[in-house]
Structure 1
Amino acid sequence: MAKLLKNLWYGLDLTRKIILNLVFFLILFAIISAIISSGDKQGVEKGIALVLKPEGNIVEQLTYKDPVDQAMQEATGNNDNPETLLYDLIEAIQNAKDDNRITAMVISTKYFWGSGVTKLQDLAVAIEDFKKSGKKVIAFDDNFSQHQYYLASQADEIYMSPNGMVFLTGFSRVGTYFKSLLDNLDVNMHVFKVGTYKSAVEPFIRDNMSEEAKEANRAWLADLWEGFTQDVAARRSMTKDDLLAYIDNYKDALTQYQGDAAKLAVDKGLIDQLTTRIEFREKMIALVGQDDKHKSFKQISHQAYLKAIRSPIPYVNPHSQKVAVITAKGEILDGEHKEGVIGGETVARLIRKTRSNDKVKAIVLRVDSGGGSAFASELIREELVKAQEDGIKVVASMGDVAASGGYWISATADEIWAMPTTITGSIGIFGMIPTFEKTLNKYGVFRDGVGTTRYANPVDIGQPLKPEVAEIIQTSIEAGYEEFLALVAKGRGMTRDEVDKIAQGRVWSGKQAHEFGLIDQLGSLNDAIASAAKLANLENYDTWYVKRELSEKELFLKQLLDTSVVKDKLDIKAQPQKPNLKNALMNQFNQSLDELTKWNDPNHAYASCFCEVQ
């Protein structure tokens, strides 16, 4: 019996191994086939139109998503929070310019939700360069929101549905405030801060925006709006005053046009021609030819185009001298974190890896962050300083936002670049600890105990904050502010008092920051890369975009669940939907409260700027 069972087990185990090996080789074959097919350059038909079709928000770095979750979302055509990488769009545009298979470019904004102004300006530069090839750029949509219209305005011709409208609203900074709610819940918010304008704590201690915050916000919003309106007016061959008149008088003008918003947009020069989808399709077929399979014009999306022109295996020349680009995007948190937030340990390790490569002569830190943990920010800055000590030039390039902790990690770079519409500054620091003793006591829950010193169990959210502990935290916050001033003064060649005058937690536009000396140069990421190479005396070099290495599990799942292959096979067309009003309000509420749970600075000290633009 024992021998029989042993043989039976051996047979079952052998069968299991054979099946697993078969499954493994089938998966391996599928992955290799997908890689080979993705590199097939014959997929770009001659005479085709490149369709630039961003989905969701345009970002500096894609937020990490679990490969299984992403595969399920995209395979079912249900992508809740889509993102489009800025540099994918730019790469597609740059390659299409000199690709004789591409004869035109179409900008489709239907599923584009929004972006910061600096990203829109980077795209505008790439599209303007594309036009030098003599190829036509055409934009079409049923309606145009503000960000959609900026992108569409870069085209040679803009077409819109006869039932559409162009509604430009200007910029705003609106927050959600919880003081009364917290009071009703008997929550004690213990706030420690330095800086008259450090308004990041206001949602938790006020029910409205302070006058100081309004003053600062109006100033930098005005600069962003100036850049936006100037760009759009120039692209449409109209004056800025004409554009502002269209916006300011929209209600009265719409009444005069009896509600015909589309005709109003045409008459005021914002739209070239009104066409239905059918008419636009026929117009494009006349321009580039017909795709018989899909009964439309010959076209290729920028995603499919990149898949066709990119090498299936990324290659970094090990022998060339390099300018390394490291992206720091999102909230700065202590510890290890994946893309979407900036992990202090994660980014510090990337910098350490980069500076240990003897071919790297310069590092460009691309920052798109409103800050976060002061401790994590300092970890990142220290690694950059060590790179400088090793003889590597360090240049900071600011995207939409590089404020508070985002400015902290940039401050001592050899050179700082930003766009005029970058949000920066906010040199200040704060701490915040909620305690719930009143709430708990109200329902009959109490906490009590003993300790060996007066500082035992210093922070207990179920007990009142000890006055001596509060004093320690406030002293630490003040010391942190002085440290912030000192490193900015050293990095910018200013005195402590000179920095203090423009600090105090106040937010500035890149244009203002340049005037004050917080920024060295105004320009794009490409400008910063070129400047870094010049500082390092490099004439011939490669640009190396340094990224976190995926774990073996992440890499395997990503290749196995290549959603682009699934969507191509099933002909799935994901259609991301804009958040409705209810979801938008709930998201604002959840994001604000979520800050309290994510903040993990060991010293409860934060350099953070709540400066989103609506």
Structure 2
Amino acid sequence: MSSNQPGVIRRFFQGVWNALNFTRRLVFNLIFLLILLAFLGGFLAKRPTISPRTALVLDPSGAIVEQFSTDPTQRALASIAGNESPEVQLRDLLRAIDSAAKDSRIERIVLIPDEIASVGLATARELGAALDRFKATGKEVIALSGGMGQNEYLIAAHANRILLDPDGAVLLEGFANYRSYYKDALDKLGVEVHLIKVGTFKSAAEPYILNQASDASKEADGYWMGGIWNEYLAEVAALRKLDVAAISDDISHYDERVAAHAGDLARLALDQKLVDQLTTRAEAREQLRALGAAEGKEGFRQVDYKSYLATLAPQSLSRFGSQVAVVVAQGEIVPGERPPGMIGGKSTAQLVRAAREDDNVKAIVLRVDSPGGDAVSSELIRRELAQAREAGKPVVVSMGDVAASGGYWISMASDEIWAEPNTITGSIGIFGLIMTVPDTLAKLGIHTDGVGTTPLAGTLDIRRPLSPQLEAIITSVIRRGYSEFIGKVAQARGKTPEQVDAIAQGRVWSGAQAKERGLVDKLGGLGDAIAAAASRAKLGDDYSVRYVERELSTWERVALSFSDSEAMVRVARWTGFRLPPGMFSSSELQQVAATIESLRGKRYGAFAHCFCELH
């Protein structure tokens, strides 16, 4: 035996390393092969052929959002794994509906809302308006459902007919905003909570200092939620030709109505005229076969909305010609650069600046769907929009489901603000929340003591009681911040600070209520805002709409082009390749992580946020 031959242990670890290296190369080669097959499939695959008398099946699966929060690579990999994307872009659904309205081959829309994971009220209203435009061409919309909540029903109510499964239900319950309150728990732990706020109705931090909602909080929440609920009832009643009082009475006595129908929720919905017919899915298919061209033994001639979108001519990506630029501001407002699904002070400001510096962009529409966040980042975005106006480019804001607190802050620097009647907006107020834990540590036998070189040194140490001097400083800063907030609103809305203060104080309003108080100019959707921006720029009908978003890398463009590709699906089925479930993080986790990251290295920060969720 040669004395230079490696020992047993060395040969073992070398074997393990070689095995790992081989596995790594194998995995990357397999991924490359899949991408190559997808390319070939994309080149060879034919676009779906749309025959006359085809029904467009609108069955979105996931949360309906303004902008994907997952990147193209994640969506492509999810497609390879055979997983449904957890998100559907509102703009894609609107494009499918509006294109189908002009397409002589599309005879009707079959709406199936059952797989919608979440949809905001303003988004639902936007989709309903698109369905109304489709019906205005003389075509029919049929809604088919196994059961709906009230937000999904708001979309379905725009259909000509609603077919409900005999075991289904339509649950209309009204809106609520309940929160947990922690004062007693924090007292038991010895945590001292110091709340400094400006705005009687700014109630976001109340759970940390009270055991129940304040009277002001209940008054404000009851008012804006009542306004949105009345809008909801009026819209449903008008669409279904019902009486608002009758719908309200049915909901108030739902227990009696259910008992009278022996627990049959579907029959109750039919008798309440919320739906038109109770049918199983098989019976509905037969009805659709009778209405349109039959195809196969049980099916009817149909195309799903994703396949239909693939048949449409690509939206122009040209940077030439007059354009209305749309910048999406969706999610929490946090410092720095952030991916889609969150609003980064730096990254969103850069998008606005890119639109301002593009000579082909003649007007800018800011689409806002945000409860607010970091005040400094909000101001950075507002300044960029103000500079765009100073450069002669009209700026129009379109409010989505929520544009409150910091979401309203970034909306101020505009020529015009549009909102849906059920948009949640306002919440003009500022608060500061400081927690200290000296008593908590004392319960554990831990005490803090020492010296500082100035009265301010160590005052931000949560182990020590709050210094009266620090409290006075923070109070002055917050009061100045509120004064600045209402001052900017007053300047933007042509009011005095006193007039704004009377409708501010942290109060939340519905879009309709905000319009009555001069915080919003007009009621309508994104399309209305785009048309208004084009009109202000005097573009006539000769313009295109372009979403200004982060530039994609070459790989992301490739991945995006195949993320919804039929070729990708065929390759996945052919190879049997599946990725592990749960591989992709949710947008909520991404938002929480980004918010926490934004606080790193900061001793304090100001946030303009609205905790105004409906349940």
**Which range, TM-score by smaller chain?**
0.7 to 0.9
User: In the aligned structure 1, how far is the partner of 2:188 from the partner of 2:444?
Assistant: 14
What is the match of residue 89 of structure 2? Answer: 85
User: In the aligned structure 2, how far is the partner of 1:251 from the partner of 1:21?
Assistant: 59
What is the match of residue 63 of structure 1? Answer: 69
In the comparison of the two structures, how many residue pairs are matched? 579
Contact 1:421–1:509 (Cα < 8 Å) also in 2 = yes
Contact 2:335–2:598 (Cα < 8 Å) also in 1 = no
Going from structure 1 to structure 2, the CA distance change for 1:183 and 1:22 (only over 3 Å counts) comes to closer
C-alpha deviation, 1:428, in angstroms: 0.5
Deviations for 1:66-117, whole angstroms, at most 9, x for unmatched residues? 834x5565555666x9222111111110111122332221110211233222
Contact 2:332–2:591 (Cα < 8 Å) also in 1 = no
What is the match of residue 580 of structure 1? Answer: none
Going from structure 1 to structure 2, the CA distance change for 1:47 and 1:489 (only over 3 Å counts) comes to same
Among 294, 307, 310, which residue is 2:310 paired with? 307
Going from structure 1 to structure 2, the CA distance change for 1:598 and 1:20 (only over 3 Å counts) comes to closer
Letter in 1 for 2:301: K
Going from structure 1 to structure 2, the CA distance change for 1:23 and 1:471 (only over 3 Å counts) comes to same
Letter in 2 for 1:222: G
Letter in 2 for 1:543: V
Matched, 1:284 2:288: yes
Contact 1:333–1:599 (Cα < 8 Å) also in 2 = no
What is the match of residue 129 of structure 1? Answer: 133
C-alpha deviation, 1:596, in angstroms: 7.2
C-alpha deviation, 1:408, in angstroms: 0.7
What is the match of residue 145 of structure 2? Answer: 141
Letter in 2 for 1:63: S
User: In the aligned structure 2, how far is the partner of 1:505 from the partner of 1:36?
Assistant: 56
RMSD: 3.2
Matched, 1:99 2:103: yes
Going from structure 1 to structure 2, the CA distance change for 1:562 and 1:519 (only over 3 Å counts) comes to closer
Contact 1:113–1:148 (Cα < 8 Å) also in 2 = no
What is the match of residue 12 of structure 1? Answer: none
Identity %: 43
What is the match of residue 172 of structure 1? Answer: 176
Q: Which secondary structure does the structure 1 equivalent of 2:205 belong to?
A: helix
C-alpha deviation, 1:31, in angstroms: 5.1
What is the match of residue 332 of structure 1? Answer: 333
Contact 2:338–2:344 (Cα < 8 Å) also in 1 = yes
User: In the aligned structure 1, how far is the partner of 2:274 from the partner of 2:61?
Assistant: 23
User: In the aligned structure 2, how far is the partner of 1:568 from the partner of 1:189?
Assistant: 58
What is the match of residue 578 of structure 1? Answer: none
Going from structure 1 to structure 2, the CA distance change for 1:437 and 1:595 (only over 3 Å counts) comes to farther
Pairwise mapping of residues 342-491 of structure 1 onto structure 2 (< 5 A)?
342-445=343-446, 451-491=452-492
Going from structure 1 to structure 2, the CA distance change for 1:473 and 1:555 (only over 3 Å counts) comes to farther
Going from structure 1 to structure 2, the CA distance change for 1:27 and 1:458 (only over 3 Å counts) comes to farther
Going from structure 1 to structure 2, the CA distance change for 1:31 and 1:435 (only over 3 Å counts) comes to farther
C-alpha deviation, 1:217, in angstroms: 0.9
Contact 2:330–2:368 (Cα < 8 Å) also in 1 = yes
C-alpha deviation, 1:388, in angstroms: 1.2
Going from structure 1 to structure 2, the CA distance change for 1:24 and 1:272 (only over 3 Å counts) comes to closer
Letter in 2 for 1:327: V
TM (norm. structure 2) is 0.86
User: In the aligned structure 2, how far is the partner of 1:415 from the partner of 1:602?
Assistant: 37
User: In the aligned structure 2, how far is the partner of 1:483 from the partner of 1:490?
Assistant: 10
Deviations for 1:296-321, whole angstroms, at most 9, x for unmatched residues? 3332221222123253xx64333311
Pairwise mapping of residues 211-360 of structure 1 onto structure 2 (< 5 A)?
211-292=215-296, 296-311=299-314, 315-360=316-361
Q: Which secondary structure does the structure 1 equivalent of 2:368 belong to?
A: strand
What is the match of residue 493 of structure 1? Answer: 494
Letter in 2 for 1:200: A
Letter in 1 for 2:611: F
Deviations for 1:200-240, whole angstroms, at most 9, x for unmatched residues? 11122222221111111111111111111111111112222
User: In the aligned structure 2, how far is the partner of 1:593 from the partner of 1:390?
Assistant: 36
Q: Which secondary structure does the structure 1 equivalent of 2:365 belong to?
A: strand
Letter in 2 for 1:89: L
C-alpha deviation, 1:551, in angstroms: 4.1
What is the match of residue 190 of structure 2? Answer: 186
Deviations for 1:509-530, whole angstroms, at most 9, x for unmatched residues? 1111111111112221111111
Q: Which runs of 5+ in 2 are unaligned?
A: 1-21, 579-587
User: In the aligned structure 2, how far is the partner of 1:356 from the partner of 1:502?
Assistant: 36
Contact 1:325–1:364 (Cα < 8 Å) also in 2 = yes
Contact 2:79–2:564 (Cα < 8 Å) also in 1 = no
Deviations for 1:469-504, whole angstroms, at most 9, x for unmatched residues? 222222111110011011011101111111111111
Deviations for 1:250-274, whole angstroms, at most 9, x for unmatched residues? 2222222222222222222112111
What is the match of residue 208 of structure 1? Answer: 212
Contact 2:170–2:266 (Cα < 8 Å) also in 1 = yes
User: In the aligned structure 2, how far is the partner of 1:23 from the partner of 1:114?
Assistant: 36
Q: Which secondary structure does the structure 2 equivalent of 1:610 belong to?
A: coil
C-alpha deviation, 1:241, in angstroms: 2.4
Contact 1:432–1:604 (Cα < 8 Å) also in 2 = no
User: In the aligned structure 2, how far is the partner of 1:54 from the partner of 1:258?
Assistant: 33
Contact 1:421–1:510 (Cα < 8 Å) also in 2 = yes
Q: Single out whichever of 251-260 and 361-370 deviates more from structure 2.
A: 251-260
C-alpha deviation, 1:568, in angstroms: 4.6
Q: Which runs of 5+ in 1 are unaligned?
A: 1-14, 575-586
Matched, 1:49 2:55: yes
C-alpha deviation, 1:443, in angstroms: 3.2
Contact 1:93–1:130 (Cα < 8 Å) also in 2 = yes
User: In the aligned structure 1, how far is the partner of 2:342 from the partner of 2:479?
Assistant: 26
